[in-house]
């Protein structure tokens, strides 16, 4: 049976709805189900000349190519492509809540999320810093790990982050031995349980230039990172590093690992997005469910034009299905 993947259509003024419509011709061995306002999806399909048949979702009936099952969740206010409206901030979160409930109940094997606009959700009076933090709070998960991934000519590239959306001046203080150890344990566990890698090899970056140059350019590698790596190696993990970040993404180094742990956002994601832009995805590790996402934003300027590339959403749905199969096989 094909895994059923809930796909949230995201910010209604952005490109999410039209990217979801493209899933009607999705080639993968998976059944995507769109969560969104049916009238919005139908109107966007008509504007773009997309002959998509929108059908009510039923897990018991297979869907033909060109059809798209939809779980209707009504907008709070009319939506216009390219024009944000804070009145729909709550609607966007309703999509996430419904997808999460379905994943937890077993109705869906996993969820993939189209982009949201953090600013307009906050304008609606809801404190929101991102999908990752929202889902962690909703599932009472104390620590989650953001990992971006994509295929390259040399194989898959997976980059997890020890810290996420922090100013650089706050990064060092945020990398504590406890946080680093918990992050590596989550990464290791999900590479095993959700990716089927029996003994994951993890490459760990240093924080400072040249990994601190023996302490002359910073002490974090000596005082925090290396002791944690030694401790976890003693538990049987295959960890290498701390590697200087400027050479960690070279082919000879990457060949020795299944995933990379970067210390901060731009250290890891600059290289990944250069290598996989338009096809990369975001994966939230540590949750009790499987969640993937596109690695781009709402692209308001492209909304309603039909020019948005669905590659990242396609890959997010495929990856969610692969992870669901791996987890099922591990049970």
pLDDT at residue 331 in the model: 67
Q: How many residues does the chain have?
A: 331
Buried b / exposed e over 105-132, threshold 16 CB at 10 Å, is eebbbbbbbbbbbbebbeebeeebebbb
Token code pair at residue 253: 């180094």
**Residues 6 or more apart whose Cβ sits within 8 Å of residue 215:** 221, 222
The pLDDT tens digits of the residues spanning 218-248 come to 999 999 999 999 999 999 999 999 999 999 9
Angle at alpha carbon of residue 11, lines to 301 and 168, rounded to 5°: 80
Look up the pTM and report it: 0.92
Which of the pair, 1 or 224, is modelled with greater confidence?
224
Q: pLDDT confidence of 66, banded at 50, 70, 90?
A: confident
In this structure, whether the domain defined by 142-286 belongs to CATH 3.30.360.10 is answered with: no
Q: What is the CATH number of domain 1-141+288-331?
A: 3.40.718.10
Rounded average pLDDT over 275-296: 93
Rounded average pLDDT over 274-301: 94
- Residue with structure tokens 């089927």? 196
pLDDT at residue 60 in the model: 76
CB 140 within 8 A of CB 125: no
Distance, CA of 223 to chain centre: 31
Torsion sign across C-alpha atoms 100, 118, 279, 243:
negative
Check pLDDT > 80 for residue 144.
Answer: yes
Q: pLDDT confidence of 193, banded at 50, 70, 90?
A: very high
Rounded to whole angstroms, the Cα distance separating 331 from 316 reads 23
Q: pLDDT confidence of 329, banded at 50, 70, 90?
A: confident
Which residues of the chain form CATH 3.40.718.10?
A: 1-141+288-331, 142-286
CA nearest 133: which of 286, 255, 327? Answer: 286
Rounded average pLDDT over 101-113: 97
CB 206 within 8 A of CB 263: yes
Rounded average pLDDT over 83-108: 97
pLDDT at residue 84 in the model: 96
Q: pLDDT confidence of 148, banded at 50, 70, 90?
A: very high
What number of other Cβ atoms are within 10 A of residue 320's Cβ?
A: 31
Rounded to whole angstroms, the Cα distance separating 314 from 84 reads 25
pLDDT at residue 62 in the model: 67
pLDDT at residue 59 in the model: 80
Check pLDDT > 90 for residue 76.
Answer: yes
Check pLDDT > 90 for residue 110.
Answer: yes
pLDDT at residue 75 in the model: 98
CA nearest 70: which of 42, 46, 89? Answer: 42
């Amino acid at each position: 049976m094909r895994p059923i993947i809930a796909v949230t259509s995201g910010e209604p003024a952005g490109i999410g709805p039209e990217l979801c419509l493209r899933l009607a011709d999705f080639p993968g061995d998976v059944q995507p189900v769109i969560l969104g306002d049916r009238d919005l999806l139908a109107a966007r399909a008509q504007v773009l000349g997309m002959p998509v048949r929108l059908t009510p979702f039923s897990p018991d009936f297979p869907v033909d190519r060109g059809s798209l099952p939809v779980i209707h969740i009504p907008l709070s206010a009319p939506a216009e492509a390219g024009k944000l409206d804070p009145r729909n901030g709550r609607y966007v979160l309703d999509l996430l809540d419904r997808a999460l409930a379905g994943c937890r109940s077993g109705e869906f094997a996993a969820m993939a999320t189209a982009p949201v606009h953090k600013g307009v959700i906050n304008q609606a009076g809801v404190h929101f810093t991102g999908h990752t933090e929202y889902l962690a709070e909703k599932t009472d998960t104390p620590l989650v790990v953001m990992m971006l991934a994509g295929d390259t000519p040399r194989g898959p590239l997976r980059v997890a982050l020890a810290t996420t959306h922090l100013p650089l001046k706050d990064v060092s203080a945020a990398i504590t031995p406890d946080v680093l150890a918990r992050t590596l344990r989550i990464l290791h566990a999900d590479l095993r349980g959700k990716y089927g890698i029996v003994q994951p090899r993890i490459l760990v970056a240093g924080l400072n230039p040249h990994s601190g140059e023996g302490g002359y350019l910073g002490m974090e590698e000596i005082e925090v990172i290396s002791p944690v790596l030694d401790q976890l190696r003693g538990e049987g993990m295959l960890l290498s590093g701390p590697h200087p970040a400027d050479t960690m993404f070279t082919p000879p180094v990457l060949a020795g690992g299944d995933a990379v742990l970067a210390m901060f956002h731009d250290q890891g994601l600059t290289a990944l997005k250069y290598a996989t832009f338009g096809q990369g995805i975001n994966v939230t590790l540590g949750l009790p469910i499987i969640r993937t996402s596109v690695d781009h934003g709402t692209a308001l300027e492209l909304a309603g034009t039909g020019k948005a590339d669905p590659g990242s959403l396609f890959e997010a749905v495929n990856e969610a299905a692969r992870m669901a199969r791996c987890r099922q096989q591990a049970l």
